[in-house]
Amino acid sequence: MLRSARHAKILEIISTKEIETQEELCAELQSRNLVVTQATISRDIRDLHLFKVAGIGKKYRYAYINDGESEISPKMKSLFCDCVVSVRAAQNLVVVKTLAGNGANAGAVVDKLNYGEIVGSVAGDDTLLIVCDTTEHAAFVVEKINGFMR
């Protein structure tokens, strides 16, 4: 099966079922007569920029951000707004505090926003650290993120 078709099938699966692990995703694909290895699934997860969010029936599940011209889906914006606790500047840094387990998810959304003032970011469990090149840019990024959340 072509990679693009496999990717489409993965996105279809994770949008209809809670898939928590690579092994579960591999088994789900195999149940649909698609023979894949765990290594292939690992690459696909990386290529599709999948990340984990809190599940309903399971502790976590795979999710993705719609990739349409770097726009963030209303659902992802809502999840971002619900998980962010605070956003504040500390010199040339911006510290985004989130609910536990959501630092990486917040980082994925901020990366998707593609703000030119951001040099890079590092996500932890409940914190996203954003690096800007100046104090002024950090303050501007705080304003932009707060505006995005409105």
What confidence tens digit (pLDDT) does each residue in 27-62 have? 999 999 998 999 999 999 988 888 887 778 888 888
* Secondary structure (H, E, C), 19-70: CCCHHHHHHHHHHCCCCCCHHHHHHHHHHHCCEEEECCCCCEEEECCCCHHH
CATH number at 134 reads 3.30.1360.40
Range of the domain at 30: 3-63
77, 145: one domain: yes
pLDDT at 70 over 60: no
The number of distinct structural domains making up the chain is 2
**What is the per-residue pLDDT for 132?**
96
**What is the per-residue pLDDT for 138?**
96
* Residue 107 domain-assigned (yes or no): yes
- Under a CB-based contact definition with an 8 Å cutoff, are residues 68 and 116 in contact? no
CATH number at 54 reads 1.10.10.10
CA distance 47 to 43: 6
Q: Which residue has the higher pLDDT, 60 or 22?
A: 22
CA distance 75 to 95: 23
For the chain, give the percent of residues with pLDDT over 70. Answer: 95
The dihedral through the CA atoms of 55, 57, 59, 61 has a sign that is negative
Chain segment 92-127, per-residue pLDDT in tens: 999 999 999 999 989 989 998 889 899 999 999 999
Neighbours of 42 (CB within 10 A): 13
Chain segment 76-86, per-residue pLDDT in tens: 888 899 999 99
84, 143: one domain: yes
**What is the per-residue pLDDT for 137?**
96
**What is the per-residue pLDDT for 92?**
97
